């Protein structure tokens, strides 16, 4: 009997809820009715103090985090390395991704990638590499009895990779398929265009991988990237599972202590001017639903206003009771998938977005409804009820931030990577608790400026009623995929 996940792919009617509190739909006083659920006792939550990982810093700058978890006989680990797609040259966008794909498939100086596939699959173990926006990584997992073998492969891969031309070609061809297909997915187009508008098409955070930039990447680029990034002071090693921490620390010291310190990796400072305001249209004639995104610049998590903004997010779109879900989905029936967030990233501004998928005819109506909700954030501060619900939602579900050892470890890796205090989560809880309605109103007015937002619509313009021009001057986006360079 198989994969339940398959069902979801086939029919996938997962009822969504991506997002969503109540618009304080003023419930009449007599309505309080009986509300039997309020009479159900809520006992105190069982005492629970998640064990924090053991942290070791080697003399060469490598940070090690160890989290014991003895429930199952597995050990998993992850090596996070500074440097990602935001750091690659503009002419070689896609380099970090190709590096992540080619690294593992090429294999090590001793064992080819293909042979590693056989070796690892026979043990139901994995060693994988990947390239992301800010990092690349090597991760591994196996039954604990296979740890030495699998960790041995991991370190071989880390220290003695053997980038191969045929595997780079394979990665390039698969990446090209994604480029060629990127206009088949309407919501994907909307997300891509929205990101480019917010950060800029040439920005390290907005630029697109193209056939030409893929073609420009050679084997030497991968080797140079590896040389530059893989040094102990640019890495964090995190291991969780069924082991003894002292013994594990000794194994990691043996493997990593001999590595010489390298140059610290520097990410270039980028500028964030935000989108050029206006209405943008990407035409797609084979759809009967529009994807609409209203976007602007967000903030960073170390902003002292982050807590108030986060409560604002809850009120706005944090759950089923949130304003946009209540109004755009439930009250108006204009969308199935609707949501938004004043986004925050750790070391650069996130994105503010409000988005929905709506039938072609109601494109303008849905856009106006979302814009009206953005405006109401500034003019209608959260009611006491909305504020209470928003905060309860965050605080009562707080335990899910650390209900498994992997989550505890993952959080500490992220905090260590971006240089945040290890008690950031606890500070967050306290911060959220203190937010008032006036705080939310203040940050809404401080950070949201409708005149600085861009609206992106991907849809079948012939079916719009009224036309998009009723929202203002429309700029057409050219989503034509630049062809492959002539060989």
Partner 1 sequence: MPLLSLKRVCVVGVVVLAAGVCGSVRAQDLASFEKRTTVKVLANGLTLIVCERPEAPVFSFYTEVDTGSADDPQGATGLAHMFEHMAFKGTTEIGTTNYPAEKVALAKVEVAYAAYDAEFRKRVGKDAAKLASLKKSFADAQAAAEKYVIPNQFSEIAEQNGAVGINASTSEDSTQYFWSMPSNRFELWAYLESQRIGHPVEREFYKERDVVQEERRMRVDSSPVGRMLEEFLATAYVAHPYGRPGTGWESDISQVTATEAEAFHKKYYVPANMVIAVVGDVKASTAMPVLEKYFASIPAGPKPEPMTTVEPKQTAEKFVVLHDASQPFYLEGYHKPDYRDPDDAVYDAITDIFSNGRTARLYRSLVRDQRIAQTAQGFSGLPGEKFPGMFAFYAVPLPGHTDDEIRVAIGKEVDRLKNEEVSDAELDRYKTRAKADMLRGLADNDGLAHSLAEYQTRFGDWRQMFRDLDKIDKVTKADIKRVANKTFVDSNRTTARIETVAATPAPVSAGGAK
Site for partner 1 in 121-160 (CB under 8 A): 121-124, 143-145
Asked if 419 is part of the footprint of partner 1 (rule: CB under 8 A), the reply reads: no
Given a contact cutoff of 8 angstroms between Cβ atoms, the answer to whether 355 and 340 are in contact is: yes
Name which position in 180, 224, 430, 438 contacts partner 1 (CB under 8 A): 180
- How many residues make contact with partner 1 (CB under 8 A)? 112
Name which position in 135, 196, 330, 437 contacts partner 1 (CB under 8 A): 330
Rounded to whole angstroms, how far apart are CA atoms 407 and 220?
37
**Closest to 296 (Cα-Cα) out of 151, 199, 361:** 199
Torsional class of 278: left (φ above 0), alpha (ψ -120 to 50), beta (otherwise): left
Name which position in 54, 223, 261, 359 contacts partner 1 (CB under 8 A): 359
Comparison of 73 and 264: residue with beta carbon closer to partner 1: 73
Which one of the spans 25-33, 156-164, 246-254, 272-280 is the region binding partner 1 (CB under 8 A)? 25-33
Instruction: Identify residues 200-259 at the interface with partner 1 (CB under 8 A).
Output: 209
Instruction: Identify residues 424-463 at the interface with partner 1 (CB under 8 A).
Output: 460, 462-463
Compute the least distance from the CB of residue 334 to partner 1, in Å.
8
Comparison of 235 and 324: residue with beta carbon closer to partner 1: 324
Both tokens of 221, joined, read: 């680029």
Q: x/- binding map, residues 371-410, to partner 1, per CB under 8 A? A: ------------------x--xx-xxxxxx-xxx------
Comparison of 130 and 278: residue with beta carbon closer to partner 1: 130
Which one of the spans 34-42, 53-61, 296-304, 429-437 is the region binding partner 1 (CB under 8 A)? 34-42
Both tokens of 397, joined, read: 């579900």
Name which position in 246, 260, 269, 285 contacts partner 1 (CB under 8 A): 285
Which one of the spans 175-183, 267-275, 300-308, 430-438 is the region binding partner 1 (CB under 8 A)? 175-183
Name which position in 152, 258, 273, 333 contacts partner 1 (CB under 8 A): 333
Comparison of 41 and 268: residue with beta carbon closer to partner 1: 41
Name which position in 77, 204, 319, 340 contacts partner 1 (CB under 8 A): 319
Q: x/- binding map, residues 51-80, to partner 1, per CB under 8 A? A: --------------------xxxx------
């Amino acid at each position: 009997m198989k994969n339940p996940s398959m069902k979801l792919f086939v029919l996938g009617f997962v009822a969504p809820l991506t997002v969503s509190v109540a618009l304080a739909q003023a419930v009449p006083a007599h309505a309080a009715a009986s509300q039997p659920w309020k009479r159900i006792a809520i006992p105190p939550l069982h005492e629970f103090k998640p064990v924090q990982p053991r942290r070791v810093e080697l003399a060469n700058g490598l940070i090690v985090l160890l989290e014991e978890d003895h429930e199952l006989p597995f050990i998993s680990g992850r090596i996070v390395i500074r440097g990602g797609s935001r750091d690659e040259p503009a002419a070689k966008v896609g380099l970090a991704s190709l590096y992540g794909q080619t690294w593992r498939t090429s294999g090590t100086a001793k064992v080819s990638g293909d042979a590693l596939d056989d070796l690892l699959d026979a043990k139901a173990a994995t060693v994988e590499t990947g390239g992301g926006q800010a990092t690349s990584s090597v991760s591994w997992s196996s039954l604990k009895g296979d740890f030495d073998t699998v960790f041995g492969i991991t370190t071989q891969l880390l220290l003695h990779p053997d980038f191969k031309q045929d595997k780079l070609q394979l990665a390039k061809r698969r990446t090209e398929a994604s480029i060629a297909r990127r206009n088949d997915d309407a919501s994907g187009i909307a997300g891509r265009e929205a990101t480019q508008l917010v950060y800029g098409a040439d920005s390290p955070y907005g630029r697109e991988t193209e056939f030409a930039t893929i073609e420009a990447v050679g084997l030497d680029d991968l080797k140079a990237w590896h040389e530059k990034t893989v040094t102990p002071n640019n890495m964090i090693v995190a291991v969780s599972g069924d082991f003894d921490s002292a013994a594990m620390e000794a194994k990691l010291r043996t493997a990593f202590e001999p590595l010489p310190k390298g140059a610290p990796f520097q990410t270039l400072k980028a500028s964030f001017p935000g989108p050029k305001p206006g209405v943008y249209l990407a035409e797609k004639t084979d759809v009967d639903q529009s994807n609409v995104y209203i976007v602007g610049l967000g903030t960073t998590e170390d902003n002292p206003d982050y807590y108030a903004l986060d409560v604002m997010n809850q009120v706005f779109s944090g759950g089923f009771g949130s304003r946009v879900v209540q109004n755009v989905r439930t009250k108006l029936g204009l969308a199935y998938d609707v949501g938004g967030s004043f986004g925050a990233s750790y070391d650069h501004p996130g994105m503010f977005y409000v988005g929905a998928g709506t039938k072609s005819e109601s494109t303008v109506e849905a856009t106006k409804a979302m814009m009206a909700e953005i405006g109401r954030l500034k003019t209608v501060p959260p009611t006491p009820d909305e504020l209470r619900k928003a905060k309860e939602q965050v605080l009562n579900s707080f335990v899910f931030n650390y209900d498994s050892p992997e989550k505890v470890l993952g959080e500490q890796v992220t905090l260590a990577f971006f240089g945040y205090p290890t008690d950031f989560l606890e500070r967050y809880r306290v911060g959220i608790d203190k937010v008032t309605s006036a705080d939310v109103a203040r940050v809404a007015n401080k950070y949201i400026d409708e005149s600085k937002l861009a609206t992106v619509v991907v849809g079948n313009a012939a079916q719009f009623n009224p036309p998009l021009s009723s929202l203002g001057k429309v700029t057409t986006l050219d989503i034509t995929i630049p062809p492959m360079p002539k060989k």
